[in-house]
Structure 1
Amino acid sequence: MTQSPRPADTSTLLSRRHVMLTGLGFLALTACGGHGSAPSNPEDACAIFRERPHYRSALEASERKWGVPVSVQMAIIYQESTFRATARPPKRYTLFIIPKGRASSARGYAQALDGTWDDYRNGPGRAGASRSNIRDATDFIGWYVSTNNKALGISNSDARNSYLAYHEGRGGYRRGSYRNKSWLLSTADGVAKRAARYEAQLAYCR
């Protein structure tokens, strides 16, 4: 006597479907070069390039185009977003429970503000440029840092002052708005030290 086939285990089918969809989603994300999370070792330039080689090509393309060293770009990205594509300022709350929105419109690798990003897209950037795309973000950093530095007389290899101008804007830097911000001066010193470390590391993987 032939037995009728047993009905499929619904939970097993759903589990397999979940695994399949998750895998496809991961492949699609990898193919697009999208990474919401930071590299596993963001302190090591060579480790970053081994894990995400498209970062290297984006950074080097920006350096060739704008003249801002890879190490300076990387130090700025580390400070702004720790290489997280979807980084945003934390939400603010009234009485700890009522949302007030975010501290600013900054987002993405470069933490570019809406207005500054629009200037970039309407200028040298492509119309569909995204702050969560590493190639767009590094091109933005190269453009913004180099144009600021040219106007302010800062060397593109001067990570400390490049970052101060990046943070305060051209007008703020000219006014010396950073001088009474001890926390910002300390941060800029940290950016300069990190850029120097990245530069030393890059000598071993170029």
Structure 2
Amino acid sequence: PIDLPPEALAGPLSARLATARRLAETHGWRRLMEAYRPITLDLWRTAADAERARFLRHLRPWWDVHRHRLAPEIAAELDRLLVERRLTVRAGRIRNVEAFARTAALHLTTRDGPQTLSAPWLIDCTGPGHDATTAPLTADLIAQGRARLAASGLGLDLDQAGRVLHADGTPDLDLYVLGPPARAAFWETVAVPDIRQRIEALAARLTA
């Protein structure tokens, strides 16, 4: 395993990123990600709101791609579909979606300008959303003052036990959040092993 030097764990985010790149060039990015895995939660917990915001704004896509990578078998199947031209990949930002009787139109903004894709089916595979104001349950909790939004924008604000924080910052004694909606507090809580650890910790707390 890689022993991460102090400059990879503290200091300005840009300096830590430069150190991480040097380590990846020497040891490979897979070993680097494995070295970060056991300390990711501590790094996230100790990061200031401004530092978290910079990470989410500039590094989140790169982290997600390298941390939650495809199994080799799935990657091979995708490569085969690309070669057979049964699958195409396009980069862009979604502007809006229109639904018609038999098709759906996806309007994109790409580097080459606006594009529209039409298909019989449109499947959203972008993962769970984090806007707690759009879901009826969480929006109602916020309206009642029983919850508030996290500064990171990753959903509800939680304490380190996963309890929902009221508008005044006090924790709700009966309301906990697990899984992807808890990313504001724990960041890495998407993969099954991470969620299982949170469930075990919560079960131990509730039965103590």
TM-score by length of structure 1 reads 0.25
Larger % of helix: which?
1
Larger % of strand: which?
2
Q: Pick the structure with greater CA Rg.
A: 1
